[in-house]
Amino acid sequence: MPVKSDQLTKIWNMVLGTLETTIQDRALYANFLVPSYLYSLEGGKAIVVTDSEISQKILSQDYSAVIGAALKKATQSDYSLSIISQDDMKKSKTSDQIGLRPTESRSFFASSYLKPEYTFENFVVGKSNKNAFQAAVYVTKHQGEMNPLFIYSKSGLGKTHLLHAIGNAVKASNPALKVLYITSDDFTDEFIKFVKGDSDKESLKDFFRSIDFLLIDDIQFLAGKPSTGTMFFNIFNMLVSQKKQIVITSDHSPSQLEGLEDRLVSRFSQGLSVSIEKPEKKTLIEILKTKIKADGFDPTLFDEDALEYIAENNSKNIRVLEGALNRILFFNVSSGNTDRITLELVKLAFADDAEHNKKPGQLTADIIIEEVAKYYNLTESQIMSKVRTMQISLARAIAMYLTRNLMNMSYAQIGKTFGGKDHTTVLAACEKVDNLAKNDDNMKKALKTLESQLKA
Ligand code: ADP
Ligand code: MG
C-alpha cells in the first residue's frame, strides 16, 4: 500500500531530524537535503526527489547510505533508495527504472565506510560504558600506545558505535590519517577472494601497511577459520610493530573467546580490554532522549512515565530500545499524531506485539546470571569470567546452582552456557552451594531471596 503524502512529509521530517544531527556539514544539509522531499514509499522502494541535477549527484554519490539509514530508522523497514532530480522526475514517470549508482571502487574492502551518525558527541556516557568510552577517546589521541584496545559486551550495547566514533574523531582531527572499519567477516571475505586470486595486483598485507587505524568489529566470527586467523595474526603484528592503532570488538573478553588460536588470543590480551555493561535506567532514559532529538522531536513531548516504560521494557539492548522508540514514533505518525506521547499511546503501539507481552517467568540462564550479579554487586562479565576470587567464584557457583535447580539443565549444558566450563566443574560448584546452604545463614538468605525473585 502506498504511503499517503502527508505521512511522507512527516517521515521525511523524521529523516531530516536524524540527518541534521548526523551530517556535520551545515551548508550541505541546508541547501541539498532540506529542499529535497520524499516522493514515495512503495513496493520496497523509496524515491527521494532533489531540486537540482547537482544535488542529485552529491546526495546519491556520497550520502545515499546515510539517508538510507535515517529512513530505515524512521520507518523500521528496509527500502531500496533512489535519489532522482526534479527534471528526471518529469522526464520519466516510470520511477522503477531508476537505480542506484555504483559506489566508488577501492582495491580492498571497497564497501567499507565510517558511519557519520556514530560519534563520541552522541554517545551517552554512564557507569556501564564509561571505561570503554574513555579508552576509545584515549586511543584517538595516543595512536599505538595501547594495542590493541579490545572492547567487549553483549549485543546492542554500543561497540560498533564506539568503533565508528573513533574513526570519525581521528578523521576529524587529521583527515590524512587512513582509517579502516571492517567486520571480521569482511576480513574473511576479502582474504578468501585474495587467496582465490580474484583481487588484483596489490597484496593484502601491502594494503594494510598503509592503514593507521584498523577498527575491526565482531572478532568472534574469526573463530574456526585458522588460515584467515593466521593472515590476521601477521597483519596484526605488522601494524603493532609500526605503532598503528588497532581496536577490536567482540561479544566476549579475549580469555573467553573460543575457536581462535592461542597466540592470537594472547596478542589480544596484550593491550587494554574494557567491557560495556547493561546501562542503568538513568542512562537508558538519557539515550532515549538523545535518540528522540536525533529523530527531530522534542523529548519533552514524552510523558516521563512513558519514557520510563520504554526504558524498563527494553533495557538489555539499545538497538531494541531504538526499535521500540521508532515504532512508537511511526505509530504516532500513522495513527493521526497526538500532541503528547503518553504511557497509553506507548502501550497501544505494542498492543499486538507478542515478544513484548511475553509473560514473565520464562526464565533463562542470562536472567539468573543477571540477578545473581546484581545481588552481589558484581557485573555479569565478572560472573562469566575466569576470575577466581572468593566472592566471584561463589556468585558464579550460585548462578550455576540456580540454573541447575530452576531450569533443569544438564551439568554439561550449564558448563557450556557459563563460557565453556567442564561438567565436573559445574557439578563441584553445585555441590558446594548445596553444602553451604545447609549451615551457612548468608547462603540460605541469598538463595531464598534469589529464588523468590526469579520465580516471581
Ligand atoms: P553493538 O555493536 O554492541 O551490538 P551498537 O554499537 O550497534 O551495538 O549499538 C546499537 C545501537 O545503540 C546503535 O544505534 C547505537 O547508536 C546505540 N547506542 C548504544 N550505546 C549508546 C550510547 N551509550 N549512547 C547512544 N547510543 C547508543
Ligand atoms: Mg556491533
Could you tell me the pTM of the whole model?
0.63
- DSSP string for residues in 420-438: S--HHHHHHHHHHHHHHHH
User: Over the stretch 91-133, which tens digit does the pLDDT of each residue have?
Assistant: 754 433 333 333 334 578 887 889 998 999 999 999 999 999 9
Grid coordinates given for 189: 571475505
pLDDT for res 183: 94
- What is the model's pLDDT at position 100? 31
Q: How far apart are the first and last CA of the chain?
A: 44
Cα–Cα dist 236/144, whole Å: 12
Q: Are 294 and 147 in contact (CB under 8 A)?
A: no
CA distance 236 to 224: 18
3-state secondary structure of 3: coil
Ligand sitting nearest the alpha carbon of 295? 1
Q: At what angle do helices 184-196 and 226-241 cross, to 10 degrees?
A: 110
Kind plus residue range of the DSSP H or E element containing 250: strand 245-250
Contact (Cβ atoms closer than 8 angstroms) between residue 238 and residue 209: yes
Give 349's Cβ-side CA count (13 Å radius).
25
Ligand 1 atom index nearest CA of 154: 3
- pLDDT of 92: 59
Cell of 188: 574473511
Residue closest by Cα to atom 5 of ligand 1: 158
**Residue 342 CA to chain centroid, in angstroms?**
28
Nearest-5° Cα angle at 442, 436 to 445: 100
151 touches ligand 1 (CB under 6 Å): no
Count CB atoms within 10 A of the CB of residue 452: 9
* Residue 46 alpha carbon to ligand 2 centre in Å: 26
pLDDT at 201: 45
214: nearest Cα among 229, 232, 191 = 232
Predicted confidence at residue 202, as pLDDT, reads 57
Low-confidence ranges of the chain (pLDDT < 50): 93-105, 201, 354, 358-360
Atom of ligand 1 nearest to the CA of 318: 12
